[in-house]
Amino acid sequence: MDIKLVDEALNGLKVLQPEVFEDERGFFAEVYRKDHFDKLGIHEVFVQDNHSRSAYGVLRGLHFQWEPPMGKLMRVTQGEAFLVAVDIRKNSPSLGQWFGETISAQNKKMIWAPAGFARGFCVTSEFAEIQYKCTGIYSNKAESGILWNDPQIGIKWPVSNPVLSAKDQVAKTLAEWLMTNDSEFFKY
């Protein structure tokens, strides 16, 4: 079994494809194996697993955490969603750039976005379940978000009127966030 690198973007983001064995009974895939991830240059240790379910048009994000820094390995296990990551590292050559890809239970791809990225997703099927492994334990005292439709980032979301949480509706733009926060986390 192997996990293949399908694409790389934004100075650290990786799209991965696990090898899948299918037959009349169903399928089997190894979605995480430390030795395979080490070969791909992903040496982080995962300490928390999250699982969410959302209906069509729900957009969650763009979320990030700085203490402890949190990278995420994201995949869709039911349905389909447009997964997005934005580089928010102040001195990164790809600061403010975004990457998005439609990930589904059918294509079984995964996106690795290291710490220093804001991440989000928008559900494009009737519902979707997203699972993500995290490199940091969640802390509500050191987490925030970037406005989902920040015009300077220009994400091309697949829905025009997404369903948003109250918190996501009033998030700061990336420029506002970077001006008000000087954490070492944001320095590349």
Q: What is the CATH number for 134?
A: 2.60.120.10
Task: Summarize pLDDT for 75-104 with one digit per residue, the tens.
Answer: 999 999 999 999 999 889 999 999 999 999
pLDDT, position 94? 96
In a domain, 9, yes or no: no
Q: Which of 32, 43, 132, 188 is catalytic?
A: 132
Q: Which domain holds residue 152?
A: 47-186
Residue 63 catalytic? yes
In a domain, 21, yes or no: no
Tell me which residues of the chain have a pLDDT lower than 70. Answer: 1, 181-188
In a domain, 94, yes or no: yes
* Residues 157 and 122 sit within 8 Å (Cβ to Cβ): yes
- Which residues on neighbouring strands pair with residue 9, listed in sequence order? 13
In a domain, 93, yes or no: yes
In a domain, 105, yes or no: yes
Give the count of domains, the chain.
1
Beta strand 59-65 with 3-9 is unpaired
pLDDT, position 185? 57
Q: Which of 32, 43, 51, 63 is catalytic?
A: 63
In a domain, 154, yes or no: yes
In a domain, 85, yes or no: yes
In a domain, 19, yes or no: no
Helix, strand, coil percentages, rounded to 5, for the chain: 10, 45, 45
pLDDT, position 182? 61
State pTM to two decimals.
0.92
